């Protein structure tokens, strides 16, 4: 995939190093968790330094296409430790912001990822109402946090999704 021309100095400044090897470690850990009966979600959290944000059953998925993008809202009702709580993820192609009981808990540039409780990774296109899932937050790589632009470049999207505040991290 080629997108734009960039010089080596820019690459060295902003490249997220070891991302491919980390993806390989995550895949291996998930495969091993499945065969050994371990919790794949916890294994992903260990490798990424992330945290479990929510576990629940998808109650409602709202999707619309506008301006060449897929906008979505996924509403999840809590199970187990999260019973009685509601978690909502707003997306513009990718997950942009998540709310627990109507309070923002994580947003871009941090990563909001979903997987089945059995360890299958989920894109927004993969989700279905009734699925039991876990939501994991992963802190943004350091180059994204080095400058205010790491958040500000997303602000216009967050405003369209109903959030007008400053960056909030779950970490």
Q: Where do the structural domains in the chain lie, given as residue ranges? A: 50-160
Q: Are 48 and 25 in contact (CB under 8 A)?
A: no
Q: How confident is the model at residue 80 (pLDDT cuts 50, 70, 90)?
A: very high
β-partners of residue 123 are: none
At residue 2, the pLDDT reads: 63
How confident is the prediction for the chain on average, in pLDDT? 93
Q: Residue for token digits 């009685």? A: 84
The CATH homologous superfamily for domain 50-160 is CV3147-like (2.40.390.10)
In percent, the amount of the chain with pLDDT more than 90 equals 78
What distance in Å separates the CA atoms of residue 95 and residue 112, rounded to the nearest whole number?
Answer: 6
Instruction: Check residues 11 and 91 and name the one with the higher pLDDT.
Output: 91
CA distances from 168 to 22, 59, 171 (A): 25, 26, 9
Q: Are 138 and 49 in contact (CB under 8 A)?
A: yes
pTM higher than 0.75, yes or no? yes
Q: Within 13 Å and on the Cβ side, how many CA atoms surround 52?
A: 19
**Beta strands, E only, 35-151:** 51-66, 69-78, 86-92, 94-100, 103-107, 111-116, 121-122, 132-138
Per-residue model confidence as pLDDT tens digits over 86-133: 999 999 999 999 999 999 999 999 999 999 988 899 999 999 999 999
C-alpha distance across the termini of the chain, in Å: 32
């Amino acid at each position: 995939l080629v997108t734009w021309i960039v010089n080596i100095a820019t690459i060295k400044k902003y490249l997220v190093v070891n991302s491919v090897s980390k993806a390989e470690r995550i895949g291996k850990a998930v495969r091993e968790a499945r065969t050994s009966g371990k919790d794949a979600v916890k294994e992903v959290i260990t490798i990424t330094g992330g945290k479990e944000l929510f576990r629940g059953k998808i109650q409602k998925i709202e999707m619309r296409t506008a301006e060449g993008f897929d906008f979505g809202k996924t509403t999840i009702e809590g199970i187990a430790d999260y019973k009685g709580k509601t978690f909502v993820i707003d997306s513009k192609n990718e997950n942009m912001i998540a709310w627990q009981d109507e309070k923002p808990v994580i947003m871009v540039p941090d990563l909001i990822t979903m997987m089945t409780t059995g360890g299958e990774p989920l894109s927004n296109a993969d989700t279905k109402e009734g699925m039991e899932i876990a939501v994991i937050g992963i802190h943004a790589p350091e180059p994204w946090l080095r400058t205010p632009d790491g958040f500000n470049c997303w602000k216009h999207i967050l405003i369209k999704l109903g959030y007008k505040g400053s960056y909030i991290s779950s970490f």
